[in-house]
Homo-oligomer: A and B are copies of this chain.
Amino acid sequence: MHIRDLSTLALIIDAAAFDSNLATMASALPGAALRPHVKAHKCTSLAAAQAGIGHRSFTCATPREVVGMAAAGLGTDLLLANETIDPTRLTVLAAAQDLAAITIAVDSVETLAAARTAGIRRVLIDVNVGLPRCGCAPADAGRLADQARTAGIEVRGVMGYEGHLMMVADRAEKQAKVDAAMALLLAAHADVGGEIVSAGGTGTYDLHTVGTDAVTEIQAGSYALMDTQYSTLGLPFAPACFVVGTIISVGSKHAVADVGLKSLGMDHGNPALAVRTSLNDEGTPADVWFCSDEHITFGTSAGVSVGGRVFVTPAHIDPTMAMHDTAWVGRGDEVVDRWPIDLRGW
């Protein structure tokens, strides 16, 4: 099938850009130095490609992602880098421990107690390194680890996500801030012990020294498909995911395609758009005026007509993937594969 034959809207992955992104990252952070984050794509077929290039340990954000990865045979080393105290979901996670190696994050006596009650065997201490979200205070990490070990639970180490630093523009400033955040994490690790010190994301993947007495792995996810926000950072990863639409109406100054905000993560603002028919051509960028539920209105340019195609680049890839049930994989003009986005939900 050709890309021009896809019914729209349709989410498409550019296989060439995707392969390049995976190779670039695997060169910088080979094997276990990267623990790819599944929340960025929610797709076991895509995760299988990441495993194929050498990354066998994965980061997940939801119980559903962990259980789905385990069922897909990708359970060598799954980390739920998130807290839950839901007994139903913890019980499902505990049952999946017979299929896969599962570690979950805890940051409080309550989350530890819930994990223990459900029969979770391995945890990691989530440490707050500056982002106001989950994570215990660094000084509390050692005590929580002791409590876990007393309860018979293996403590594999620490994690600390410096999410507040991903978009810092100045590289020297960003490096200094990442170093300061990691000093907090390493101090906590000295109290906690264990073989894992997990941190980082696509925006800081090259600002960590991965190794002994340092961060042992990076949790990047967005690098594989990218989005317009991460593209502002000048990283060596190319946009590899688009929502393909059809122009359904053309006015005197604007045109409308059938790609609306129900198919696009909007928390980082409007997407980018180009009038474009295949992955081979660059297309012609157009100004996005606004997105509605089912429409994107953009400024017209020469060559815009009803039935033409647009490629929309999401501003934020993670929620965009979560809105689609299928990712088509394209190479040039051809559709070469169809990947179910099979880890949606909670």
Contact = CB atoms under 8 A, between A and B. Distances in A.
A27 interface: no
A322 B323 contact: yes
Interface stretch (A44-52, A68-76, A143-151, A293-301): A293-301
Contacts of A108: 249-250, 306
A85 interface: yes
Contacts of A107: 249
A256 B7 contact: no
Contacts of A306: 85, 108, 110-111
A58 to B, nearest CB: 16
* A interface secondary structure, majority: loop
A89 to B, nearest CB: 6
Given A86-B7, A318-B262, A319-B261, A133 B293 contact: no
Contacts of A134: 248-249, 256, 295
A43 B331 CA distance: 36
Interface string A78-93: 0000111110110000
A228 interface: no
Contacts of A249: 83, 107-108, 111, 133-135
Contacts of A14: none
B85 A248 contact: yes
Contacts of A128: 251
A254 B61 contact: no
Interface of A: 7-9, 39, 61-62, 82-86, 88-89, 107-108, 110-111, 128, 132-135, 163, 246, 248-251, 253-254, 256, 258, 261-263, 265-267, 289, 291-295, 297, 305-307, 318-319, 322-323, 325, 345-346
